[in-house]
């Protein structure tokens, strides 16, 4: 704060109103002198802010392009004398030289937590439109083979991952609130535009990727999405990790494994993510916790699978038709929103139904940022790798109520290179601390602040890069 600037001989020359008072002379906070009110170079705006009382103080100052900025005060834009003071008290730069107090962002609208409506300015392509010459589908499978071919014919690798991943495929679903990636870029990157009724923009699903080459494509995909699209609190990020083969043992092991991991994974994300109906439109929770005691671990695998199948089928008496059959609530494969069992932080429905053979991680906050997306892909791949290699051990431990798994041991055993292990463990710790800080400092349990900071966010651990 700059209290000394107020201690001038003429007295304290700041005001508590956004409206400039009528006077013949004003104190100029830039030049530190009294000046005539007839000076057209004087600007009236915010000259100080008290974080304890949340009080803005207003005054006059000469223009200084290096110091001046703007602040969004409940929808109104006011000039700011010196932006460094806003940064010091925790204001967020939502657009270049436009700041917002995070405590003013969160409010209740129709009994739901929401984000301030005027937190953005139009610096990128914010207009939503379907600008593609192919049908607007809900699912990617109808266009998957075409986009695989487009990608193979048009993509010239510019980036590649620095560290090896497990030999598994992965794909990402990016939800946006506005903007459109050009069709040529979609074809080049293998990025399939889709529609989703829960958001105002397009959803973009990647083709399946693999290994360091896939990480390179993902890096570039994130940069392109940030150039053309935006996100809001209605959006999500979903990661799919493919598994080579599926059987009943894997399904049972997966449920016990992810239920045991649940507290550690959820600690990386805002607490309301598992109760998203409190801040997203509609009454659905899109990534709920796994059901408690959904199957009896003391029973044999066959009986445990039957319990899980009945839960995921959501249809009493429905008979198991073999892995890959369509879900009874989505027989044509184009009505996924009717399958309510998929709305868990980790979705295991695709292991049983539909033929995709993927495990879907739905818990991540909305993001288009490579510094979040790529580490999360590494983490998700390691989780699935560990599951595939410890199925029998997991089921045996669950049966004796001794199942204990932790992220540290999973990641350490998955990756041979200690550098990537240290990076990911540091990133996990960073996310856990960030979530707590945002909740304590700003009361943000929904991830709103993450969204505002998404464009500028970066993460540096010992200058380690995940791509080259």
Question: Which pLDDT score is estimated for 3?
Answer: 45
Residues 346, 231 share a domain: yes
The reply to whether 215 falls in a domain is yes
CATH code (residue 260): 3.30.590
What angle is formed at CA 292 by the lines to CA 270 and CA 334, rounded to 5 degrees?
75
The reply to whether 118 falls in a domain is no
Residues 149, 96 share a domain: no
The reply to whether 294 falls in a domain is yes
Nearest-angstrom CA–CA distance, 271 and 448: 12
Length of the chain: 468
Tokens read off for 362: 């739905």
Tally Cβ neighbours within 10 Å of residue 346.
Answer: 22
Which domain range does residue 418 map to? 144-452
Residues 15, 83 share a domain: yes
Question: Which pLDDT score is estimated for 11?
Answer: 53
Nearest-angstrom CA–CA distance, 65 and 61: 12
Residues 294, 182 share a domain: yes
Alpha carbons within 13 A on the beta-carbon side of 126: 7
The reply to whether 320 falls in a domain is yes
The reply to whether 301 falls in a domain is yes
Nearest to 279 by CA among 441, 71, 449, 125: 449
Q: Which of 427-450 are b and which e, b meaning 16 or more Cβ less than 10 Å from the residue's Cβ?
A: bbeebeebbeebbeebebbbbbbb
Residues 74, 209 share a domain: no
Residues 292, 415 share a domain: yes
Residues 150, 86 share a domain: no
Question: Which pLDDT score is estimated for 100?
Answer: 85
Domain boundary among 104, 135, 163: 104
The reply to whether 465 falls in a domain is no
- pTM for the model: 0.85
Nearest-angstrom CA–CA distance, 256 and 251: 9
Question: Which pLDDT score is estimated for 355?
Answer: 84
Residues 150, 100 share a domain: no
| Region of residue 350 (left: phi > 0; alpha: psi -120 to 50; beta: else) | alpha
Nearest-angstrom CA–CA distance, 246 and 197: 30
Nearest to 205 by CA among 234, 233, 225: 225
What domain count does the chain have?
2
Residues 182, 47 share a domain: no
Nearest-angstrom CA–CA distance, 389 and 257: 12
The reply to whether 19 falls in a domain is yes
Decide if 318 contacts 304 (C-beta within 8 A). no
The reply to whether 182 falls in a domain is yes
Decide if 205 contacts 214 (C-beta within 8 A). no
**In this structure, which long-range contacts are made by residues 82-85, counting pairs with CB atoms below 8 Å and at least 24 apart in sequence?**
82/2, 85/1, 85/2, 85/48, 85/49
Question: Which pLDDT score is estimated for 6?
Answer: 44
Question: Which pLDDT score is estimated for 422?
Answer: 98
Residues 276, 212 share a domain: yes
Residues 223, 307 share a domain: yes
Residues 80, 150 share a domain: no
List the chain pLDDT tens, one digit each, 468 residues.
444 444 444 456 788 888 888 878 888 999 888 888 766 678 899 998 988 888 899 999 998 888 999 998 877 889 999 998 888 888 888 777 888 888 777 777 777 887 764 444 444 445 556 788 787 888 888 899 999 999 999 999 999 999 999 999 999 999 999 889 999 999 999 999 998 888 889 999 999 999 999 999 999 999 999 999 999 899 999 999 999 999 999 999 999 999 999 999 999 999 999 999 999 988 889 999 999 889 999 999 999 999 999 999 999 999 999 999 999 998 877 788 899 999 999 999 999 999 889 999 999 999 999 999 999 999 999 999 999 999 999 999 999 888 999 999 999 999 999 999 999 999 999 999 999 999 988 889 999 989 988 988 999 999 999 999
Q: Which of 221-234 are b and which e, b meaning 16 or more Cβ less than 10 Å from the residue's Cβ?
A: bbebbbebbbbbbb
Question: Which pLDDT score is estimated for 46?
Answer: 93
């Amino acid at each position: 704060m700059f209290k000394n600037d107020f201690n001038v001989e003429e007295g304290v020359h700041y005001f508590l109103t956004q409206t400039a008072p009528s006077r013949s002379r004003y104190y100029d906070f830039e030049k530190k002198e009294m000046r005539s009110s007839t000076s057209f170079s004087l600007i009236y705006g915010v000259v100080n802010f008290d974080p304890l009382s949340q009080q803005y103080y207003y005054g006059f100052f000469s223009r200084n392009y290096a110091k001046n900025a703007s602040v969004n005060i409940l929808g109104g834009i006011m000039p700011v004398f010196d932006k460094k003071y806003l940064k010091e008290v925790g204001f967020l730069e939502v657009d270049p030289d436009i700041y917002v107090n995070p405590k003013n962002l969160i409010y209740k609208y129709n009994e739901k937590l929401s984000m301030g409506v005027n937190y953005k300015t139009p610096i990128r392509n914010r207009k939503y439109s379907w600008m593609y010459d192919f049908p607007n589908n809900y699912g990617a499978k109808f266009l998957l083979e075409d986009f695989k071919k487009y990608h193979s014919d048009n993509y010239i690798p510019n980036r590649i991952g620095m560290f090896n991943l497990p030999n598994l495929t992965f794909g990402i679903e990016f939800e946006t609130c506005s903007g459109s990636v050009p069709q040529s870029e979609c074809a080049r990157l293998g990025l399939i535009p889709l529609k989703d009724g829960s958001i105002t923009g397009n959803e973009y699903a990647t083709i399946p990727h693999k290994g360091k080459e896939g990480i390179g494509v993902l890096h570039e995909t994130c940069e392109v999405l940030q150039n053309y699209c935006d996100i809001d609190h209605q959006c999500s990020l979903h990661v799919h990790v493919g598994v080579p083969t599926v059987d009943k043992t894997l399904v049972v092991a997966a449920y016990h494994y992810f239920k045991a991991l649940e507290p550690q994974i959820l600690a990386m994300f805002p607490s309301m993510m598992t109760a998203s109906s409190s801040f997203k439109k509609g009454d659905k929770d899109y990534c709920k916790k796994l059901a408690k005691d959904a199957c009896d671990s003391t029973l044999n695998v066959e009986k445990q699978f039957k319990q899980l199948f009945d839960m995921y089928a959501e249809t009493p008496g429905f008979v198991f038709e073999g892995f890959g059959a369509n879900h009874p609530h989505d027989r044509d494969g184009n009505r996924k929103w009717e399958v309510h069992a998929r709305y868990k932080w980790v979705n295991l429905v695709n292991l049983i139904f539909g033929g995709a053979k993927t495990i879907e991680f739905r818990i991540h906050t909305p993001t288009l940022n490579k510094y979040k997306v790529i580490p999360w892909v590494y983490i998700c791949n390691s989780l699935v790798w560990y599951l595939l290699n410890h199925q029998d051990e997991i089921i045996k431990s669950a049966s004796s109520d001794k199942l204990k798994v932790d992220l540290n041991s999973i990641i350490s055993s998955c990756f041979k290179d200690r550098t990537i292990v240290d990076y990911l463990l540091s990133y996990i710790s960073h996310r856990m601390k960030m979530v707590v800080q945002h909740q304590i400092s700003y009361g943000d349990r929904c991830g709103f602040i993450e969204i505002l900071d998404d464009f500028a966010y970066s993460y540096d651990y010992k200058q380690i890069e995940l791509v080259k």
